[in-house]
Structures are given as structure tokens and as C-alpha cells.
Amino acid sequence: MSATVLPGQPQVHYRGDELYVEDVRLADLAREHGTPLFVYSKASMLAALAAYQRGFAGRKAKVCYAMKANSSLAILQLFARAGCGFDIVSGGELERVLAAGVPAGEIIFSGVGKTRREMRRALEVGIRCFNVESEAELEVLSAVAVEMGKRAPVSLRVNPDVDPKTHPYISTGLKGNKFGIAHKDALLAYQRAAQLPGLQVVGIDCHIGSQITFMSPYLDAMDRILDLVDSVERAGIRLHHIDFGGGLGINYTGEQPPAADALWQQLLAKLDARGYGDRELMIEPGRSLVGNAGLCVTEVLYLKPGEQKNFCIVDAAMNDLPRPAMYEAFHAIVPLARNEVKPATFDVVGPVCESGDWIGRDRKLSVEPGEFLAVLSAGAYCMSMASNYNARGRPAELLVDGSQVHMIREREDVADQMRKEKLLP
């Protein structure tokens, strides 16, 4: 039987009228495990990673998965087995990576607000590098390292003031963003870092944003960063690695971001032309590895007609899929089984007691109560941002590998939520 592949979802397809992930029918998973339910394709994740690995063939390079996109332990384990390092932004993420069996030397630590406790723990286990994001952080990290009799390996995250042409909430490389050290201040910051007794300067880092769908911002950022590398090394400070961050977009609604290998062919050509082709490279992709690999299955509870809007009320909500409520993000929504019901236009909304609890607006759907829908491109920044608002348990997660299905997170119940709470005496 021929399969109809969905745009941007290479492992999600219809066989006849039934929706599959790889070789598994989603309706069977929904009935067995309940909804809401996150389902991921192993093949999709590895195919996305393979594009980066092709782009870096023959180079000294490390792909460090930005685990904030999806920090489920089995997914970390999958990328570790495929040769990835990891980009973390908190002490909790550090412990999750270690729990997945990742050597500490494969970890780089980003983030604007590292605490002394987090710094100590990272130094204790011996992470590969701290991406430092302010001059004040340099001073604190050096002091912590000296107290421990260590030197912290550091890379300075430089803000190149390049517009990534993305949503303002996920832009990180402009002057008005909280991230990184301003390009004009970076040389002085490097000179100070080289003087501090608890630090060892090892590299330079930048990250300009997320869901970037054009090559030009990356090319502009590389020029700005390599200009700074010139200045830093003329000042006598050797930079052993160059980290160009992540941010490559995915297909949510017809976007056509460059393929990772095509992007890096352009970037590496520029790197070679500037004389830095022999340097070790690091990158920090997140969304582009997992975003199109996942979906959320949800059951239709009610169809509610209104004077201005028709509502399709489902059992998934803003606590499960926070991106639409946070920044009006688009996720395609499709049925698990195509039917002959006359289509109508609905706002797809959840049961949470907020007007902002919506999954999709003005969607044409052929659907009835009791049927299932799939919210696509939900592998990134959904489960990792999920909450217990309205005392709702977080969904179960499944990883599909061909015809095999692995439970990688059990559904959270109310007892799980209350385990750490105490009643008054």
C-alpha cells in the first residue's frame, strides 16, 4: 500500500486512511497508552543528526545536542550513542546528562545565570567547557575554581548583533537580548579572562537565535565572530575551538530551512577562506534534531459551536504543548484516521482554565468526538516545557524504532505530583 508522507515529517505518513509513525499505527498507541501522548521517531532524529555529520565529514568537529529542546533521558542516550556531546543550561540538565551515561568531558555549559553551586558541581565532574555570558560571570567562576584548586575551561559567548529574522522571543543575538557579551566589549573580556587565575581560555561561542530559516544570518554572524577571533589572537590569546551555536529551523508550516549539510558547506567555505579551517568546531543544534521527529496524540472530547467560533475541545492543553500559548506558534494538526465527515473550521483548544489554552486556530478538520488528532512537529520545546498547571499530569512518551515501541516515560499521576508536598500539622 502506498504511503502519503506529511510535509516536514519524513517518518509520519498515512497508509491508506491511517496515520503511522515509521511502521506503527498511531491509533493503536493511543488506545493502549491513553492520551495526551508524545510519540517520537528514532529514524527521524538520526536522519537529522546525519545531515550535520555529513556536513562535518573530515573535520575536527563536535555536535553538542542542545538538550533544552527535549531532555528525556532515552533521547539523550540515543544521541550519546550516535556520537553527540551535549549543551546544557542548568545544574538539573547536567544531572540528566550524567544519568544518561554521558561522560562529563562531552558537556558544555551555557546560560546567563549559572549559580555557584552549579559551577562547583560542573567543575567537580570535569565538564569540557563553560560558555560564559557576562564579565561578572568570569569573576565568579574564577573565584569558585580557585576555591576548589582548579582552572575552569571557558569560552566566551559573544553577542554578534545579527538579526536572525525569527520570533523576538527566540532571538538571542541582538543588542537588546540578555544573552552573551557585546561584540564591542568582547576583546576586553577575553583579556580579563586570560588574567584571572581560575580560568583557562579555550574557545569562542555565539548563538543568534532559534527557528532560523535563512543562511544569511549565519554567514553574517560567522564574519563578525571571525573578525573578533583575529583581534583576540593578535592580543596573544589562542582560541582552540570555535562554537557557532545552533538555531537551525524546521518545517512547521511550509518553511524551507537550509539542510544542515548544505548550510555547513557554505559556512566551512567561509571558515577556510578566513584561514580558520583547521580549528576544532562545535555546534549546538536542538530543535533541528528533534522537532520534526515528535508529535502529540490527543482525543477529541467535544465539538462546541459558537456564534463567532467553533471549538474542537481536546484533552491536550497548554501545559502539554506550551508553544502556541507562549508565542503563538503554529503546529499542523491532522486526524489519526481520515473519515467522510463534512469538514468544518475549528479553534482546537484544551481543557485548561485559560483563554490562552489553544493548540491551533481556524483549522479545517473532519472530526467527531472520540476520534484522535495528531499535533505535529512537537518533538522540541513541548515535553521539555510541560507543566502540571491545573494539577494535570505530564503525558507518557514513546519512542518508535521501526515496528518496535519503547516506553521512555510513564504517564504522571496525581500522586507523582504531590510526592514532595507536605500538609500542615
**Which residues make up each annotated binding site?**
247, 284-287, 323, 327, 354, 381
Q: Which residues are annotated as a binding site for pyridoxal 5'-phosphate?
A: 247, 284-287, 381
Alpha-carbon span 185 to 85, nearest angstrom: 29
Which residue in 64, 129, 353, 382 is the catalytic one?
353
Sign of the alpha-carbon torsion through 339, 342, 345, 350: negative
Coil, strand or helix at 260: helix
Say if strands 24-25 and 37-41 run parallel, antiparallel, or are unpaired.
Answer: unpaired
Say if strands 107-109 and 129-132 run parallel, antiparallel, or are unpaired.
Answer: parallel
Coil, strand or helix at 336: coil
Q: Which residues are annotated as a binding site for substrate?
A: 287, 323, 327, 354, 381
Query: With contact defined as beta carbons under 8 Å apart, do 323 and 69 qualify?
Result: no
Q: Distances in Å between the alpha carbon of 14 and those of 5, 46, 268? A: 6, 21, 38
Residue 353 is among the residues annotated as catalytic for this protein: yes
Cell of 182: 557585546
Alpha-carbon span 323 to 357, nearest angstrom: 10
Q: Distances in Å between the alpha carbon of 413 and those of 393, 398, 419? A: 5, 17, 10
Residue appearing with cell numbers 573535520: 59
Sign of the alpha-carbon torsion through 389, 390, 393, 395: negative
Alpha-carbon span 133 to 122, nearest angstrom: 16
The residues carrying an active-site annotation are 353
